[in-house]
């Protein structure tokens, strides 16, 4: 599976990462090599084999609808790089 530099750019955009052109070329080669290696899976006949989405498919682990007190606004904002009053402050969202 050959990855093109345009593929790398589309994926970088999806992942919100930016690279120099040189890095993009390097990544193109690295991803191509890795994906070629992964293509070895094509050898495996998986007809009729269910995908293993979870290690254990038990229906455990739901919780009852009980409230536990949250951490409060001060703690919520404690790690925030920028705040305004009781809010997180981030660059203006344009469009949507």
Partner 1 sequence: MYEAVIGLEVHCQLKTHSKAFSPDSTSYGARPNSCVDPVSLGHPGTLPVLNRRVIECALKLGLATRCRIARRSVMARKHYFYPDLPKGYQISQFREPICTGGFVDIGRRIRLTRIHIEEDAGKSLHDRDPHATLLDLNRCGVPLLEIVTEPDLRTAKEASVFLQKMRQLVRYLDISDGNMEEGSLRCDANVSVRKASSSGLGVKTEIKNMNSFRHVERAIDHEVARQIRVLEAGGTVTEQTRLFDAAERQTRQMRSKEQAHDYRYFPDPDLPPVEVTEGMRRAILLTLPELPDARRHRYEEDLGLPAYDAGVLVEERHIAEYFEATHAELVRVVRDADPAACAKVVSNLVMGDVMRALKENRGAAFALAPERLAELAHLRMAGKLSSTGAQELFARMSREDGSAAAVAARHRLLQVGDEEALRPVAAQVLRDHPKQVGQYARGKRTVLGFFIGQVMRRFDGSPDPRRVRELLLLMLDEKVS
Partner 2 sequence: MAPPTFADTRAALARGATTCEAVVDAFLQRIAAHKHLNAFVHVDADGALSAARQVDWQRAAGHAPPLAGLVLAVKDVLCVRDWPLSCGSRMLSGFRSLYDATAVARLKASGAILVGTTNCDEFAMGSSSESSWHGPVLNPRAEGYVPGGSSGGSAVAVAAGLCHAALGSDTGGSIRQPAALCGVVGLKPTYGRVSRYGLVAYASSLDCVGPLTHTVHDAAIVLDAMAGQDERDATSVPTRAPHVGQKWLHDACGLRLGVPEEFFGAGLDAGIQEAIKNVLDRLRAAGAHVRSVSLPHTRYGVAVYYILATAEASSNLGRFDGLRYGYRPEGHENMNLEELYARARSEGFGKEVKRRIMLGTYVLSAGYYDAYYAKAQRVRSLIRQDFDQAFEAVDVLVAPVTPVPGFRLGAMTRDPLQMYLSDTYTVTANLAGVPGLAVPAGVHENGFPIGIQILGQPFDEARLLQLGDLIVRLLGQ
Choice between 22 and 92, CB closer to partner 1? 92
- By rule CB under 8 A, what string of x and - marks binding of each residue 2-21 to partner 2? -x---xx-xxx-xxxxxx--
Find out whether 29 and 4 touch, Cβ atoms under 8 Å.
no
Interface with partner 1 (CB under 8 A), residue from 41, 50, 61, 81: 61
Cβ burial of 8 (10 Å; 0-12, 13-18, 19+) is: buried
Least distance (Å) between residue 43 CB and partner 2 = 8
| Of residues 53, 64, 1, 56, the one with CA closest to residue 29 | 1
Stated as kind and residue range, the H or E segment containing 84 is strand 83-84
**46 scored as a contact of partner 1 (CB under 8 A):** no
Distance CA 95, CA 44 (A): 46
Where along the sequence are the contacts to partner 2 (CB under 8 A)? 3, 7-8, 10-12, 14-19, 27, 30-31, 33-35, 37-38, 40-42, 44, 46, 49-56, 58, 60-63, 71, 75, 78-82, 88, 90-94
């Amino acid at each position: 599976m050959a990855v093109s530099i345009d593929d790398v750019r589309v994926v970088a955009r999806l992942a919100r990462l930016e690279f120099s052109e040189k890095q993009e070329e390097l990544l193109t080669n690295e991803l191509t090599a890795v994906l070629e290696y992964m293509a070895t899976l094509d050898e495996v006949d998986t007809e009729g084999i269910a995908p293993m989405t979870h290690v254990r498919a038990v229906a455990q682990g739901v919780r009852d609808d009980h409230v536990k007190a949250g951490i409060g606004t001060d703690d919520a904002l404690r790690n925030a790089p920028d705040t305004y009053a009781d809010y997180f402050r981030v660059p203006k969202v344009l469009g949507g």
